[in-house]
Amino acid sequence: MVRLRYAPSPTGDPHLGNIRTAIWSWLYAKKMNGQFIIRIEDTDQARTIDGATDRILNSLSFLGIDWDEGPTTSGKYGPYIQSKRKETYVKYAEELVQSDLAYYAFETPSELAAIREEQKKQGLPPGYDGRGRLINKTQAKEFLDKKIPYVIRFKMPQEGETSFTDLIRGKITVQNKTLDDLIILKSDGFPTYHFAHIIDDHLMEITHVTRGDEWIPSTPKHVAIIAALGWELPIYVHTPIILGPDGGKLSKRHGARSVLDYKEDGYLPQAVMNYLAMTGWALDDKTNIISIDELKKHFDLHQLLPNPATFDEDKLNWLNGIYMREMPLDELANILQKQLTKDLNEDISLETLKKIVPIIQERINKINEITNIAGFFFKKDFQFTDLEILHKNILENNVEKTITVLLSIIEKFEKIDEKKLITANVEQLLRSNAEANNIKPGKLFMLLRIIVTGQKVSPPLFETIEIVGKNKVIQRLQTAIQKLS
């Protein structure tokens, strides 16, 4: 059975590239009827942020990703938080020292910095020069007894080459002489990422190591350590990064960045999942829209593309709009009600909203656009925020005539029964009014649109008038006349 894991560090919110790897891993586990595990990699206590784990888990939940084992779940391979597994790493590190595959080293960070400085000056690649290998066991024991801080370094092979297979790139080979003796246990007793993930992935029986492709250069070191431990290599899947529109790293500069930001910005989880799953992977030559169920059926790690992709917000927006339009009216109404309540701080009638949804569904791409599109339906203290557009759109540039026409419309509206003020009647009434006054219907509609909605862009006018209702419409017409006088 395949077992894949998502192993984030609790140092911040997951961003798109990072979560895409999680999505792919999860989808593949689902497809293969395998298991998906969450492991928190918090071996750097200094960088660990309070609450980050919760936010990571929330990001996953938002997308509908579940897990078989993880920090909030029990499982026979736990604990799933690395800081709770310290002794395990120490044990394996000490064993490697015992078998002479690793050694204690006593350089201080500043000494190491000096070594690198010197190498840089000489145009050499920076890296540990292996001087700790020269310290014999007795000396080492002496230092240890004196409580001199130490790290444990792994003895990298110095000759030959190391190869491994990356699932989406094939065989990758490096010369061992480019590998230096890396630290596996830090002086604070915590393991480094390089060591901890190897131990955990083995103990947790992870079959596919999925991670960002920035790890490719250090994978040969991991391979060497795994060989020293006598363990089997996992299948490596190094996923490319997602670039910002400027070709650089995706960052705050490019708008929302973390998954939670996208949630906040009104994106639907299906859309984010669809977009992310299909950037770097394609089902065939024509599929652009795909459900989560279909993804679970068809997604395959073997088809991943090796090249980095550029984030395309337009396409995400388009996809989100597709899903917004596909959503059942009631479901959409519920979601929009929450957004409006939050934005307007008013009681939003679900009944009214259900009438509005059909006429705005094709006009909305993101949940949080609803307030701009339809907020005017609910604002109690309706004002013309922009008097200028009212003045600019009066009929035939003639205030008096405009007022006369508006008064005649008020008169007609007043005579009509509220129940009869429905779309078809409103349209008929307004069209004949325009004809009677010899004005272009379009001009009249635009003026009324501004008066009723306060906006130049709005949902269809007649439906809008019906939903806003007789009294409010008349009120707004009167306000407009006042403002024009």
Partner RNA sequence: GCCCCCAUCGUCUAGGGGCUAGGACGCCACCCUCUCAAGGUGGAAACAGGGGUUCAAUUCCCCUUGGGGGCACCA
Q: Which residues are catalytic?
A: 252
In the complex, minimum distance from the CB of residue 229 to RNA, in angstroms, rounded to a whole number: 18
Is there binding between residue 303 and RNA (CB under 7 A)? Answer: yes
Is there binding between residue 449 and RNA (CB under 7 A)? Answer: yes
CA distances from 475 to 61, 185, 260, 428, 470 (A): 46, 75, 42, 21, 9
Quick note: the x/- pattern for RNA over 410-429, rule CB under 7 A, is -----------------x--
Is there binding between residue 126 and RNA (CB under 7 A)? Answer: yes
Q: Using CB under 7 A, pick the residue from 90, 112, 403, 422 that binds RNA.
A: 112
Q: Using CB under 7 A, pick the residue from 67, 89, 128, 236 that binds RNA.
A: 128
Sign of dihedral through CA atoms 332, 338, 344, 347?
positive
Buried-exposed string 330-344: b where 16+ CB fall within 10 A, e elsewhere: eebbebbbebbeeeb
Nearer to RNA, 165 or 341 (CB): 165
Nearer to RNA, 307 or 345 (CB): 307
Q: Which of 235, 229, 221 is nearest to 162 (CA)?
A: 221
Q: Using CB under 7 A, pick the residue from 214, 264, 300, 330 that binds RNA.
A: 214
Is there binding between residue 282 and RNA (CB under 7 A)? Answer: yes
Characterize the bridge pairing of strands 102-105 and 35-38: unpaired
Is there binding between residue 180 and RNA (CB under 7 A)? Answer: yes
Nearer to RNA, 348 or 452 (CB): 452
Q: Which of 17, 14, 10, 59 is nearest to 39 (CA)?
A: 10
Q: Using CB under 7 A, pick the residue from 133, 297, 315, 483 that binds RNA.
A: 315
Quick note: the x/- pattern for RNA over 373-402, rule CB under 7 A, is ------------------------------
Instruction: Kindly state the number of chain residues that form the binding site for RNA, as judged by CB under 7 A.
Output: 88
Give CA–CA dist 151/185, Å, rounded: 6
Site for RNA in 151-170 (CB under 7 A): 151, 169-170
In the complex, minimum distance from the CB of residue 452 to RNA, in angstroms, rounded to a whole number: 10
Is there binding between residue 321 and RNA (CB under 7 A)? Answer: yes
Site for RNA in 217-256 (CB under 7 A): 217-218, 240-241, 243, 247-249
Residue that has been written with the tokens 């649109």 in this structure: 449
Note whether 364 and 370 are within 8 A (CB). Answer: yes
Is there binding between residue 76 and RNA (CB under 7 A)? Answer: no
Is there binding between residue 109 and RNA (CB under 7 A)? Answer: yes
Crossing angle, helix 423-436 and helix 399-415, to 10 degrees? 140
Q: Which of 191, 61, 30 is nearest to 70 (CA)?
A: 61
Spell out the residues 6+ positions from residue 259 whose beta carbon is closer than 8 angstroms to its own. 13, 14, 15, 16, 19, 59, 62, 63, 272
In the complex, minimum distance from the CB of residue 329 to RNA, in angstroms, rounded to a whole number: 15
Q: Segment contacting RNA (CB under 7 A): 5-13, 263-271, 381-389, 472-480?
A: 5-13
Is there binding between residue 460 and RNA (CB under 7 A)? Answer: yes
Q: Segment contacting RNA (CB under 7 A): 182-190, 258-266, 333-341, 477-485?
A: 182-190
Tokens for 16, please give them. Answer: 């798109």
Nearer to RNA, 51 or 442 (CB): 442
Give CA–CA dist 73/61, Å, rounded: 14
Nearer to RNA, 134 or 457 (CB): 457
Partners of 183 in the beta sheet? 153
Site for RNA in 24-63 (CB under 7 A): 41, 43-44, 47
Q: Using CB under 7 A, pick the residue from 87, 159, 284, 381 that binds RNA.
A: 284
CA distances from 383 to 241, 368, 478 (A): 48, 22, 12
Note whether 57 and 38 are within 8 A (CB). Answer: yes
Note whether 321 and 365 are within 8 A (CB). Answer: yes
In the complex, minimum distance from the CB of residue 73 to RNA, in angstroms, rounded to a whole number: 20
Q: Segment contacting RNA (CB under 7 A): 26-34, 172-180, 378-386, 393-401?
A: 172-180
